[in-house]
Amino acid sequence: MSKLAGKHIVITGASAGIGAELARQLGAQGCRLTLAARRCELLQQVAEQVRQAGGQAQVAVCDVAQREQVLALAAAARAGFGEIDVWVSNAGHGIRHRVLQAAEDDMLEQYKVNCLSSLWGYQAVIPHWQDHQRSGQVIDVSSVGGKAGFPFAAGYVAAKHALSGLGDVARQELAGSGIMITTVYPGSTLSDFSRAVLDRTDGTITSSLSGIKRRSSLLVRILSAEQSSAHVARCIVGVMLRPRPTAYPHPGATFAAILNNFWPGFVLAQIVKLRRGI
């Protein structure tokens, strides 16, 4: 029997992509899942797939950009399946824009969805664990964009950098308590996420990025190759089985982020070469 069998796990952003794939994999582990997102019909479909895989599932419509809805999600989850064992903050979205044209409303919305939603998740579950002297785990699904920037994603990258710092601080404050904060840093992933990205440039950036990809060297294409949602989900299941502070599902993207942190001049020079003609 799986070590996760019977565990109550909450997943936000569970209607598609990484969240839906994670739900299916955890269903096969015999977990009890509370699935949250804004699209109820898609959530119901994922919940049925969880049940067919051998798990239990309940759904809750939730906009994670609203703090009161995140707190209500935790209450509804407990009412249905009892105490929460793991909370996965997976919901997120991006905007494609140039930094000099970034609008305040877009930046604030990115911060709410990609960073503050995780903070509200902490506030929804951790005090309850502390009050009942329980251990637990919160998993934040971040991005390598939270470790190194990339062009035309100012709001998303800034929010994910903030999330990285938030997780670091929470881990330090909770050290020794039996409560683990795990930050997962996927690279580029095949999912609905990229198709849902808002483009504030009338398509000019999208076409430019296509040109960059065509001109990229073999090494760059390997480092930026897309991983599957199933691969990322397996990594998340892995950190539930063996909790640790951070996880990097995509070795190539991780190497690129490390390279940018330690040798930014080199990385910048490569970007300048690729961006010729934009």
CA distance to 88, 119, 134, 181, per residue, from 131 (Å): 20, 18, 8, 18
pLDDT at 223 over 80: no
In this structure, which CATH number among 3.40.720.10, 3.40.190.10, 3.40.50.720, 3.30.1360.20 belongs to the domain 8-202+226-251? 3.40.50.720
CA distance 51 to 31: 10
Q: Average model confidence (pLDDT) for the chain? A: 87
Beta carbons of 121 and 87 less than 8 angstroms apart? yes
The pLDDT-based confidence of 57 (bands split at 50, 70, 90) is very high
pLDDT of residue 165: 95
Nearest to 70 by CA among 119, 15, 139, 108: 119
Most confident of the following: 65-74, 194-203, 258-267? 65-74
pLDDT value, residue 214: 54
Contact 49, 31 (CB under 8 A): no
Question: pTM for this one?
Answer: 0.87
DSSP bridge partners of 88: 11, 139
Total residue length of the chain = 278
Query: 266: which residues sit within 8 A by CB, 6+ positions away?
Result: 259
Q: Is the pLDDT of residue 151 over 60?
A: yes
pLDDT higher than 90, residue 199:
no
Given this model, what pLDDT does residue 276 score? 52
185 is catalytic: no
Report the distance separating Cα 35 and Cα 42, nearest Å: 10
Least confident of 16-20, 121-125, 143-147: 143-147
Find the catalytic residue in 111, 156, 185, 248: 156
User: Pairing relation of β-strands 8-12 and 86-89?
Assistant: parallel
CB of 86 closer than 8 Å to CB of 139: yes
Q: Backbone dihedral region of 203: left (phi > 0), alpha (psi from -120 to 50 degrees) or beta?
A: left
The predicted pLDDT at position 251 comes to 74
Give tens-digit pLDDT for 59-90: 999 999 999 999 999 999 999 999 999 999 99
